């Protein structure tokens, strides 16, 4: 069930707020069993534990403070920050659903300027929080999918996410209370980490595929509010590709037209591997452990394989070859989630 539209102006049109979005930074997902999910994302997928809270695990491979947040709360019970600020929203729809997608922005000053534009446009910001190493704004898209737009506040995020308890780092943030820092704190040369004995060694989460109620309507949100650039819209408007300013691959987000209401908000995410040799090594290591990928692609656009997490969410591991946005239109709609 889609939630109330919050990220539009009172006139019903998406204003040109344009958060300064660089790339997809992380996916925070609801899981049925936190420890079982951790065993999959860490022990098989190769994402390193960098912190935990009472209900969540945070995993990264060195690119930033986390690529995945695994939330095992299982309820819409409110969660509060260290200063008593309400940090959660009631968007739990069951295991295997999104808590939120996290979008890395250029810097705090640019994020605050976008916040001012959002206020002028009467866009409802659900939460504004400081996570110890980043400042973040949260809002819903027109389908009720929750998004975080954040600016890192330090390059030394491992002093905060050092593998231990990170539950006390979050507190409220007033974006207008003091001058905003224009320094970009995203790391241009991250130190990559590999998990010992994990068959896969991904670099970072790079892409998301999301089913939406209306592709054109959601483009307006992601472009005019989310700050992504539209790379391609299919002639029949059944799918679209968008990308952030970092241009780390052909796209950060693929929107797919949902075939029924219950499909709206379902998603998949993709993690980038270093090169094609890394794909070969991962496939061989998975074979030695008896794990068979669900789907594989080896064409002009990409080489990739899929695994399914314990809550039946497809996770892709890929190396991009050549972006070809039109190619998806030749794929059966039931397979586009994977072929994107």
Token couple for 339 = 């072929």
Strands (DSSP E) along the chain, which ranges? 21-30, 48-52, 56-60, 68-71, 98-105, 127-130, 134-140, 146-152, 171-172, 204-212, 229-233, 239-243, 253-257, 267-272, 296-298, 302-308, 314-320
Instruction: List Cα–Cα distances, 1 to 38, 72, 213, 263, 337, in angstroms.
Output: 28, 21, 11, 9, 20
Q: Taking residues 62-85, report their average pLDDT.
A: 87
Average pLDDT in the chain: 91
For the ranges 79-93, 169-183, 268-282, the lowest mean pLDDT is seen at 79-93
User: Does the fold of domain 204-339 match that of domain 21-172?
Assistant: yes
CATH of domain 204-339: 3.10.180.10
CA-wise closest residue to 317 among 338, 335, 289, 291: 338
Residue with tokens 């809550």: 311
Query: Contact, 201 vs 195, CB < 8 A?
Result: yes
pLDDT score of 8 more than 50: no
- Per-residue pLDDT tens digits for 246-285: 999 999 999 999 999 999 999 999 999 999 999 999 999 9
The yes or no reply on domain 21-172 and CATH 3.10.180.10 is yes
pLDDT score of 15 more than 90: no
- Per-residue pLDDT tens digits for 283-339: 999 999 999 999 999 999 999 999 999 999 999 999 999 999 999 999 999 999 999
Query: Contact, 79 vs 90, CB < 8 A?
Result: no
What's the sign of the alpha-carbon dihedral 45, 61, 59, 275?
Answer: negative
Q: What is the pTM of this model?
A: 0.93
- Per-residue pLDDT tens digits for 212-231: 999 999 999 999 999 999 99
Domain ranges of the chain: 21-172, 204-339
């Amino acid at each position: 069930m889609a939630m109330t539209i919050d990220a539009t102006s009172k006139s019903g049109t998406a204003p040109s707020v344009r958060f300064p979005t660089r790339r997809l930074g992380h996916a925070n997902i609801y899981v049925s069993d936190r420890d079982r999910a951790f065993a999959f994302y860490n022990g098989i997928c190769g994402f390193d534990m960098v912190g935990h809270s009472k209900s969540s695990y945070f995993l990264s491979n060195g690119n930033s403070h986390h690529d995945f947040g695994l939330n095992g709360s299982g309820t819409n019970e409110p969660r509060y920050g260290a200063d008593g600020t309400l940090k959660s929203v009631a968007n739990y729809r069951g295991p295997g659903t999104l808590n939120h997608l996290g979008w890395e922005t250029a810097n705090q000053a640019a994020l605050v300027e976008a916040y001012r534009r959002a206020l002028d446009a009467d866009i409802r910001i659900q939460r504004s929080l400081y996570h110890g190493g980043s400042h973040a704004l949260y809002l819903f898209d027109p389908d009720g999918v929750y998004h975080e737009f954040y600016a890192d506040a330090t390059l030394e995020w491992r002093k905060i996410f050092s593998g231990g308890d990170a539950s006390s780092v979050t507190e409220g943030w007033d974006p207008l209370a003091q001058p905003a820092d224009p320094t970009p704190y995203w790391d241009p040369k991250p130190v990559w980490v590999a998990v010992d004995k994990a068959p896969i060694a991904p670099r970072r989460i790079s892409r998301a595929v999301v089913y939406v109620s209306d592709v054109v309507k959601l483009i307006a949100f992601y472009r005019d509010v989310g700050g992504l650039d539209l790379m391609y819209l299919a002639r029949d408007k059944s799918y679209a590709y968008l990308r952030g300013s970092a241009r780390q691959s052909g796209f950060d987000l693929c929107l797919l037209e949902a075939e029924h209401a219950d499909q709206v908000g379902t998603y998949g995410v993709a993690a980038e591997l270093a090169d094609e040799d890394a794909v070969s090594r991962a496939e061989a290591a998975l074979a030695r452990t008896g794990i068979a990928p669900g789907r594989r692609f080896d064409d002009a656009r990409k080489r990739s394989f899929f695994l399914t997490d314990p809550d039946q969410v497809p996770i892709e591991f890929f190396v991009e070859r050549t972006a070809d946005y039109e190619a998806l239109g030749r794929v059966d709609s039931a397979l586009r989630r994977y072929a994107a």
